[in-house]
A = this chain, B = another copy of it.
Amino acid sequence: MLNRVLGVITRASKRFILMSQEVPVPQAVKAPKKSKLQVSLKTPKGTKDWADTDMVIREAIFSTLSGLFKRHGAVTIDTPVFELRDILAGKYGEDSKLIYNLEDQGGELTSLRYDLTVPFARFVAMNNIQNIKRYHIAKVYRRDQPAMTKGRMREFYQCDFDIAGTYESMVPDAEVLAILVEGLTKLGIQDFKIKLNHRKILDGIFKISGVKDEDVRKISSAVDKLDKSPWEAVKKEITEEKGQTEETADKIGEYVKLNGSLKEVHELLSKDEAITSNELAKEGLDEIATLIKYAEAFAIEDFISFDLSLARGLDYYTGLIYEAVTEASAPPENATDLKKKSKNSEDASEYVGVGSIAAGGRYDNLVNMFAQASGKKSAQIPCIGISFGVERIFSLIKQRINASSNIKPTSTQVFVMAFGGGKDWNGYLPERMKVTKQLWDAGIETEYVYKAKANPRKQFEAAEKCGASVAVILGKEEYLENKLRVKRLGPEFADDDGELVDAADFVSVVKQKLSEVHEDGVNEVTRLIRGL
């Protein structure tokens, strides 16, 4: 027996052994090897459990956003958490190395989804969908270096809204931007701005600066780092690593420093002959002119900063690109703000925050890539979307909501109790269960103490702990006369004995009292999240 146990322990170096209660392990063997028998009780790196009020807040964020998406006419879809590996291949540029693969256990090769956009494009192409507005709230997976405090996790939720289909130019684009503004505003985030750029203008700038077609995407990747690195570092990457001339880099540098309102930057670029004579940049500029009109109709123009340094990492964007940042997520300031509010770049460290809290762009070729690669006929379905970074938004809201605030994790409204019988009394447990069941059946959140005998104090404490606002009391004698006592809970009702009612009527009395409690109709969590 000893040998068997030792053998098991040796083989167990990396494996988890549940100590069978049927195998008595001699203490002398067990003690020194104890550490080898241990398994760490934790979640995998970069993941976490969500519970308690965090979960209540997160659910309120989801319901705020899904309500918003529905308001804009969206349907929702649900795609598998893993996709065929081929579907994800070639979509994420340098970040493809962050994709989680599933083990080859025979059968197809699959990977966990990296975002919700590629599965959406796959869905649209696969089902020959011509147009759809859809939202999708689900987890995505990236084998990134986690930074929990900033809300950067390996498993995290995205809340995506996308419009696919051929429509009047810039109309869906303006709606997506409106959704971004409405979403953040409804979540109580006030101090955000939307950095916006246009891939056609950006690519045009690279070309007129002397970048060859085949180098455009990699120069774009370098410029994308401007939110983390100063221009000098990016310039070095452009010239030394990516083989552009000093002159090209300087030209790019002049353009990407520009930012300001849509109108200001549009006006400035419209006067730039190099820009207006480049076909691609001109197209982008005309689209911005159209966007200005619709942004005014939606009254969102003040939230937008046209920022030529914004590049966005993903390969698949083809038009507008944008991301929302707050003070907490602002980058080191490298750009010359047209409004002359620029800060000294020494201040960079102050600005290490949660990063962008929502981002997206137009991707007009992705669906067609899938259609073509699958041998279907060409399907040019233009798409545009926005992805809310819920985990980061959660961090901001959590900071704002006072830790001592009144969010409770359960929904319990009513507590059923019994007393009046003294020490030898049976405590009316089945009777309390019966009364509770009637409330459950009436749709009312109700609890009771799971004990045969519980003294009044314990029952009131339990009621308070779960935040119930009404008590239904079975008095020993009163219950025998088919009467129940219904009473408001809380310090202001300490002297209130409640109302003694016929057992037949008690549910409606409870409902009446609850409606008094919830007079205002606005959920406490929603109020806190909106910062009211």
Contacts and interface: CB of A to CB of B under 8 A. Distances in A.
Interface of A: 14-19, 21-22, 34-35, 37-45, 47-52, 55, 58-59, 67, 70-87, 89-90, 100-105, 107-110, 112, 122-123, 125-127, 134, 139, 141, 143, 155, 167-168, 171-172, 174-175, 178, 182, 213-214, 293-294, 296-299, 365, 369-376, 409-412, 429-431, 433-434, 437, 440-441, 443-447, 450-452, 466
Contact of A71 (B44, B55, B105, B440): B440
Nearest to A123: B49
B75 A51 contact: yes
Nearest to A213: B22
Contacts of A447: 72-73
Given A168-B450, A372-B19, A76 B105 contact: no
Contacts of A168: 429, 450-452
A468 to B, nearest CB: 9
A122 to B, nearest CB: 6
B103 A76 contact: no
Contacts of A77: 49-51, 55
B40 A374 contact: yes
Given A182-B441, A375-B37, A433 B73 contact: no
Contacts of A82: 44, 47, 155
A108 B44 contact: yes
A107 B375 CA distance: 38
A323 B93 CA distance: 49
Given A40-B84, A294-B430, A76 B55 contact: yes
A102 B74 CA distance: 33
A447 B171 CA distance: 12
A283 B58 CA distance: 44
A297 B430 contact: yes
Contacts of A446: 71, 73
B78 A49 contact: yes
Given A299-B437, A430-B296, A452-B168, A375 B34 contact: yes
B79 A43 contact: yes
Nearest to A126: B41
B80 A47 contact: yes
Given A22-B214, A44-B110, A430-B296, A450 B172 contact: yes
Contacts of A139: 81
Contacts of A109: 14
Given A22-B213, A143-B105, A443-B71, A41 B125 contact: yes
B155 A81 contact: yes
Nearest to A167: B450
B15 A89 contact: yes
A85 to B, nearest CB: 8
Contact of A81 (B58, B81, B437): B81
Contacts of A41: 87, 122, 125-126, 370-371, 374, 376
A434 B297 contact: yes
A71 B39 contact: no
A445 B410 contact: no
A373 B19 contact: yes
Contact of A70 (B47, B49, B123, B445): B445
Contact of A80 (B49, B433, B441): B49
A126 B42 contact: yes
Given A297-B437, A431-B297, A411 B373 contact: no
Nearest to A468: B73
Contact of A39 (B21, B49, B373, B450): B373
Contact of A16 (B174, B371, B373): B373
Nearest to A366: B18
Nearest to A171: B450
B294 A433 contact: yes
Contact of A38 (B73, B298, B373): B373
B410 A74 contact: yes
B73 A55 contact: no
A167 to B, nearest CB: 4
A219 to B, nearest CB: 16
Contacts of A49: 77-80, 123, 126-127
B430 A293 contact: yes
Contact of A433 (B15, B297, B376): B297
